[in-house]
Structure 1
């Protein structure tokens, strides 16, 4: 589990088969590699990968066929070769972003980028698989970066986030251009709520609540409010 607060940048290159080599950029080696061991999880552009081998300046990880199918790793769309890196959340650590599992739901595409006085406004196209969990002021992970949704299309074709200067400068979001592909992971809480609603609306359930009708009464009854 991760928080969506990127710790460092790295570069990535395929080694053939399912193996990838991730190299930390200068200045981030000690931060990422401290206590890193074989079997640990690291979020690479939001993709949870398992460390297979620790190197002096990085590590080697493996990606399954399912991971390649769902993420930019399989699309080979990694802008300028830089990827966002975050080691797994430790018990007792601060949770400054939101719960990010590293299980990417799908790929989005940057549609527009505009600099304002206080932030960078970025709009991404998405698919129904991800858009169904998008809510105003909700959380979403873009290339592993925890961001808050500032606007979205009711038709669920796109959403917008406002990226503060610090986040923009410290992550690979600054390398994105119109048409760049990104990994998207919806908030896990929305998925659990949907699962509960579907279960409640099954023929065997006492309450045939429509899973498309999320009401305050339903959430209170099931302990969410």
Structure 2
């Protein structure tokens, strides 16, 4: 689990078809502090497992599916990648919950400075992630937690407002129009979609819903009243 707050920018090299080497700027890089074998590190938003620790980086393997669904297999040698170590118990959560499981890709359309921010637009968004893009919702772009400022009805185009420090300290500043980026939709949206589409189908699921909502705070009298719908969520303050 990650927060989408990038800690540093590293460089990626392809040691073999499925083995990647990530080099950090310094040996004191925050991503390397306390690093251990088996740790999870987000590389441009993709959760990878540390297989070997180096003086200034680490080696990780990427599956064929990961390389196919993300940009990692398409980056040039020494390509710039955003890095974030996994969330630790007690750490501050300043972005939003990011799993490191990329849903799809999109393309940079434009990045324009405006006032005290950058307006960055993305197009060609994969349908698998476009469905979770909503105005003022959260989106992870190359592992960066961003807020959607505007979007099309289908979600295949969206715009974000990026503050200068985020633009300067991530690989957003290296992107050129047409470059691909990794995208991950908000995990909360995925659960809401599943509940509203299918609803709980078992007695156990209904009991779990009552436990989450708190029976004493609802008007639920019977498990059959717990059909998880948009109306139900709105009634109980979740929409």
Task: Provide the TM-score with structure 1 as the length reference.
Answer: 0.89
Aligned match of 2:14: 14
Contact kept, 8 Å, 1:77 with 1:181, in 2: the verdict is no
Equivalent pairs counted in the alignment come to 219
Please list, as runs of the form range in 1=range in 2, the aligned pairs for 1:14-163 lying within 5 A after superposition.
Answer: 14-26=14-26, 29-76=28-75, 81-125=79-123, 126-163=125-162
2 CA distance for matches of 1:144 and 1:190? 17
Which consecutive segments of 4 or more residues in structure 1 shift more than 3 A?
220-225
- 1:223 CA displacement: 7.1
Assess, with a 3 A threshold, how the Cα gap between structure 1 residues 61 and 199 changes in structure 2: closer, same or farther: same
Contact kept, 8 Å, 2:43 with 2:83, in 1: the verdict is yes
Assess, with a 3 A threshold, how the Cα gap between structure 1 residues 17 and 190 changes in structure 2: closer, same or farther: same
- 1:25 CA displacement: 1.3
Contact kept, 8 Å, 2:134 with 2:155, in 1: the verdict is no
Instruction: Give unpaired runs (5+ residues) of structure 1.
Output: none
For each residue in 1:45-92, what CA deviation from the matched residue of structure 2 results, as whole angstroms up to 9, or x when unmatched?
A: 0000000000001000010111111100122368x7110000000011
Aligned match of 1:3: 3
Moved more, 153-162 or 170-179: 153-162
- 1:221 CA displacement: 5.5
Contact kept, 8 Å, 1:147 with 1:161, in 2: the verdict is yes
2 CA distance for matches of 1:155 and 1:42? 31
1 CA distance for matches of 2:198 and 2:172? 38
Contact kept, 8 Å, 1:6 with 1:145, in 2: the verdict is yes
- 1:154 CA displacement: 1.4
Contact kept, 8 Å, 2:131 with 2:154, in 1: the verdict is no
- 1:33 CA displacement: 1.2
For each residue in 1:158-187, what CA deviation from the matched residue of structure 2 results, as whole angstroms up to 9, or x when unmatched?
A: 000011000000000011110011000000
Contact kept, 8 Å, 2:3 with 2:87, in 1: the verdict is yes
